[in-house]
């Protein structure tokens, strides 16, 4: 009986321990470009829909969570800190405070010919917001 109670208490905690695949897939499907985009998942921590998945890095347009910097490919990194330091990344998808966080940088999307549909504008920030000095100058 005691084991069943422990199991019931731990089950919700283990289910909440990762990225929200539905939210991430929905957002990725709404990144617009001149052609349909293919994504390669660098560390397999997220299951993406087959429609979005590329079979290799070479055939992908965007690399999710690259293990190292890919100079010729657009990237979506797995931390806010990496987004600030990696100028080749257009966005970040990460887990913080028990929630999936999604952030895209407006100028980097535009530079790479990408656009996020209007429904997902809440995930877009300006490049300036990544720098504390820039934020201070706004006030």
pLDDT tens per residue, range 38-80: 999 877 778 889 889 998 888 999 999 988 766 688 999 999 9
- What's this model's pTM, rounded to 2 decimal places? 0.81
Q: In this structure, are residues 65 and 41 in contact, taking their beta carbons and an 8 Å threshold?
A: yes
What the block records as the tokens of 90 is 């257009």
- Residue 74 to residue 80: CA distance in whole angstroms: 16
3-state helix, strand, coil in the chain (%, to 5): 35, 25, 40
Residue with tokens 């929630």: 99
Mean pLDDT taken over the chain? 84
**Confidence check: pLDDT of 10 > 50:** no
Strand 62-64, strand 99-105: pairing: unpaired
Q: How far is CA 36 from the centre of its chain?
A: 18
Token pair recorded at residue 124: 């877009």
Characterise 114 by phi-psi region: left (phi > 0), alpha (psi -120 to 50), beta (else). Answer: beta
């Amino acid at each position: 009986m005691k084991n069943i109670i422990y199991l019931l208490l731990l089950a919700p905690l283990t289910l909440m321990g990762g990225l929200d695949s539905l939210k991430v897939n929905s957002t990725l499907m709404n990144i617009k470009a001149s052609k349909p985009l293919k994504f390669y998942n660098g560390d397999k921590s997220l299951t993406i829909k087959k429609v979005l998945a590329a079979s290799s890095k070479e055939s992908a347009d965007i690399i999710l969570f690259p293990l190292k910097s890919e100079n010729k490919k657009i990237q979506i990194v797995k931390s806010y800190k990496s987004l600030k330091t990696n100028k080749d990344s257009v966005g970040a998808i990460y887990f913080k405070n028990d929630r999936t966080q999604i952030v895209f940088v407006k100028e980097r999307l535009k530079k790479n010919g990408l656009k996020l549909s209007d429904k997902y504008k809440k995930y877009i920030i300006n490049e300036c917001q990544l720098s504390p000095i820039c934020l201070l100058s706004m006030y």
